[in-house]
Amino acid sequence: MAKKKNEEYSGESGDDADYGEEPNFDDPEDFVDDVSDEELLGDLLSKRPCETDGMENVVVVDNIPKVAPARQEKLKTVIDKLFSTFGEIVNTYYPLDEEENTKGYAFLEYKNSQNAETAQKQLNNHRLDKSYTFSVNLFTDLAKYENVPEEWEPPKPQPNKIQNDLYNFLLEPDAYDQYCVAAETAPNSVQVQFWQNTLPEPTELESRERFTDTFVKWSPLGTYIVTFHKPGVAIWGGTEFNKINKFPHPGTQFVDFSPCENYLVTYGPLPKNQQNIIIWDIRSGQEKRSFVSENMSSMSMFKWSHDDKYVATMGTNVIHIYETPSFYLLDMKSIKIPQLMSFSWSPTDNIIAYWVAETEQVPAKVALVYIPKRREIRTVNIFNVSDCKIHWQKSGDHLCVKADRYTKKSKKDNDVKYLGPYHTFQIFDMRTKDVPVDSVDIKDLVLAFSWEPVGTKCAIIHGEQSNASISFYEVKKGQQPNLIKKMDKKTCSHLFWSPRGQFIVLANLTMGTFEFVDTNNDFIVMGSGDHFRASEVEWDPTGRYVVTGVSSWKVKEDTGYNMWSFQGRIVRRTMLKNFVQFLWRPRPPSLLTEAQQKEIKKNLKKYYPQFENKDRLRMTRASKELLEKRAQLREQFMEYRNKRIQEWKDQKNRRLQLRNHIDTDTLATEDVEEEIVEFLVKEELTTLE
């Protein structure tokens, strides 16, 4: 038994003996292993932990205040509130020195890398106060900055790139204006067409499918057009409307240009019903400064001075004025104004007009402040005020503040009874020394007020909309406002002045009726018309045409636009499915002085023959084009007719076969016998009981 057991374990007998000698798995002495672990276990090694795991979620915030332990909790609360708007913060670290004071920088870890990248883009160069401006970087960028070469290499010269001619639209010899028409072709897809308002028919310049997701907007001088997309906005310009620049701001809902087109402001939503506001440099595309607003608003919160030197926004009882291009607070402090309600810049001077609400002891006040010296140049107190609206004349010559007021009457028991409302218009003469102020009282309900852009008149709609009155006042330098015309029994709700003055459209956008009035010639009604459901009115920059539009944002059928002359004559009707927007391309101010323009108007009759000859040639050219078009259509028809005649001749043999070789083509009508063949199609039997 022992012998048998030894044989079983010795490998020399039994079943194991069939395998022969035991193999040797050792490597030869000269063997070199050239297979790496990545080739054998690449899928597993890619999942192994790394020292930098999670580092892409970390941002480094530099230039924060250095504070003692007693103030550190407040500092952390402020920074966490600011940075948490971009995502959840899972960890924070504030390094401390030997005295337990913060060192001026901090580390914030987000839940994912997308939140960290967004926070870095939005809050880098964010100004906390007048002394501290954040410098925000991703933690993973530190390695990039560590590997900066010690020797500086000068940049290589780049080849000259021809830029787009952004002002070619001003070189049109006949001064034809351009306009764009937007129509929705699919959800979040809008087609935009660009036209030139030539006569007798407009000329299409460009058509872009899916040009924008929502709508478009021209810059104030007509140089750029902005489009809206999910990642941000883009501006286009030049002869073929090429892309000039893009600004990454996801979810942008509204944009605003500075008056001189140096800066662009984008407004986009943030979590927790907040709004992210970014100011960009248009030419470089650089982000100049960003702000976070607590309240969402569809209107611009930032208001620009006429020369782009300052931009201002309103807070609680304070006006913040930032100077460009640094976008730091002017003189490092804001203007504190108790009970501040609203403000507005002059369109031609660096003057701010604001008004403050009335309290029990202090009346409402309207003030004019000169910037940058912050000097008040005029103030007016108004009693019994519930609301005010500030209206600047486009030329900056006058300012009107419409005050909604109420009267009060005391009773025997000393209770106060409020009657009204009524309205007072405070009119400031900005071009006269000491800025004198005159007032106009209107006891009716005021529906609208509008200045003549160029001139000395203003218009007020007051009374009930179904039976309103329109009062025109003339405001001359050194004189009180004078009522020069009152038009009664008008169904009017809106006023639209020509950009050149003199002509005005009295519109009722509820009923879609329009009246065209010449205010320089005894306020004669030159023409009238209607455009049912029209929701927008647009004057062209020259004051020669008016467009009324029915947008699909308001209704879903019969959308389109009508073009009128300034005299109220229909020029063109255009029906366009899913029409959403019509915009004339703005023009920059004229290079001619006011004296030169007056001289041209004075001698306008001298130019009439020249203009009439141009119009005659244009109509002759149009008639010639019409005749050529008709001749071309006739030629196409004759070609089609001859083709069908030849086809009929080629089928003659087939007709003879079908008609027993009788040539019916040559027979007269009386030689042809007509035979009627009837046959049973179906028979039904019905039993009547």
pLDDT tens per residue, range 451-460: 999 889 999 9
- Please tell me the predicted confidence (pLDDT) of residue 685: 80
Q: Specify the pLDDT at position 417.
A: 47
Q: Check pLDDT > 80 for residue 139.
A: yes
Contact 465, 493 (CB under 8 A): yes
pLDDT at 2 over 50: no
Name which residue leads in pLDDT, 2 or 567: 567
Whether the model clears a pTM of 0.75, i.e. scores above it, the answer is no
pLDDT of residue 48: 62
Closest CA to 84 of 55, 50, 122, 110: 110
Identity of the residue numbered 550: V
Residue 8 or residue 635, greater confidence: 635
Q: What is the mean pLDDT of residues 169-186?
A: 90
* pLDDT above 70: residue 40: no
**Residue 50 confidence class, pLDDT cut points 50, 70, 90:** low
**Per-residue pLDDT tens over the stretch 329-380:** 888 889 999 999 999 999 999 999 999 999 888 899 999 999 999 999 999 9
The per-residue pLDDT for 46 is 64
- Which structure tokens are listed for 509? 């956008």
Between CA 559 and CA 573 the distance in angstroms is 11
Whether residue 200 has pLDDT greater than 50: yes
User: Which pLDDT value is given to residue 141?
Assistant: 83
Q: In the numeric block, which tokens belong to residue 647?
A: 């086809």
Q: How confident is the model at residue 6 (pLDDT cuts 50, 70, 90)?
A: very low
What residues contact residue 583 under an 8 Å CB cut-off, 6+ apart? 179, 180, 182, 216, 217, 218, 538
Q: How many CA atoms lie within 13 A of 120 on its CB side?
A: 20
The pLDDT tens digits of the residues spanning 432-467 come to 999 999 999 998 889 999 999 988 999 999 988 888
Q: Which helix (H) or strand (E) holds 8?
A: helix 2-10
Helix (H), strand (E) at residue 242: strand 242-248
For the cut 60, the answer to whether the pLDDT of residue 7 exceeds it is no
Q: How many CB atoms lie within 10 A of CB 114?
A: 13
To the nearest whole percent, how much of the chain has pLDDT over 70? 89
The CB-side HSE value for 17 (13 A sphere, CA atoms) comes to 7
The angle that helices 113-123 and 69-83 make with each other, rounded to 10 degrees, is: 100
Tens-place pLDDT, residues 614-673: 777 777 776 677 778 888 999 999 999 999 999 999 998 888 888 888 787 776 655 667
Rg of the chain over Cα atoms, rounded to whole angstroms, equals 39
Do residues 426 and 403 lie in contact, with contact meaning Cβ atoms separated by under 8 Å?
A: yes
Q: What is the mean pLDDT of residues 585-606?
A: 88
Residue 175 DSSP label: -
pLDDT at 10 over 60: no
Look at residue 413 and tell me whether its pLDDT is greater than 80: no
| Candidate ranges 153-157, 245-249, 416-420; pick with highest mean pLDDT | 245-249
Q: pLDDT category, 197, cuts 50, 70, 90?
A: very high
Question: How deeply is 72 buried, as exposed, middle or buried, from its count of CB atoms within 10 A (0-12, 13-18, 19+)?
Answer: middle
Q: Is the pLDDT of residue 262 over 90?
A: yes
Q: Count, in order, helices (H) and strands (E) of the chain.
A: 8, 41
Query: What pLDDT shows up at residue 19?
Result: 54
* Separation of CA 369 from chain center: 30
Residue (of 523, 451, 539, 515) closest to 486 by Cα position: 523
Q: What is the mean pLDDT of residues 383-404?
A: 92
Least confident of 141-150, 319-328, 383-392, 584-593: 141-150
Give the residue-averaged pLDDT of 579-593: 92
At residue 678, the pLDDT reads: 84
Domain boundaries, the chain: 55-143, 596-631
DSSP secondary structure code for residue 309 in this structure:
S
Least Cα distance to 529 among 578, 487, 566 occurs for 566
Q: What is the pLDDT of residue 8?
A: 43
Comparing CA positions, the residue from 285, 299, 296, 293 lying closest to residue 320 is 293
Residue 412 confidence class, pLDDT cut points 50, 70, 90: very low
Superfamily designation of domain 55-143: RRM (RNA recognition motif) domain (3.30.70.330)
Nearest to 206 by CA among 217, 216, 224, 193: 193
Question: Would you give the DSSP letter of residue 336?
Answer: E
Comparing 27-36, 90-99, 116-125, 405-414, the range with the smallest average pLDDT is: 405-414
Tens-place pLDDT, residues 284-294: 888 888 888 87
Q: What is the pLDDT of residue 519?
A: 94
Neighbours of 197 (CB within 10 A): 23
Question: So what's the pLDDT on residue 296?
Answer: 57
Give the pLDDT confidence score for residue 656 in this predicted structure.
86
Mean pLDDT, range 407-418, rounded to an integer:
52
In whole numbers, what is the pLDDT of the chain averaged over residues? 86
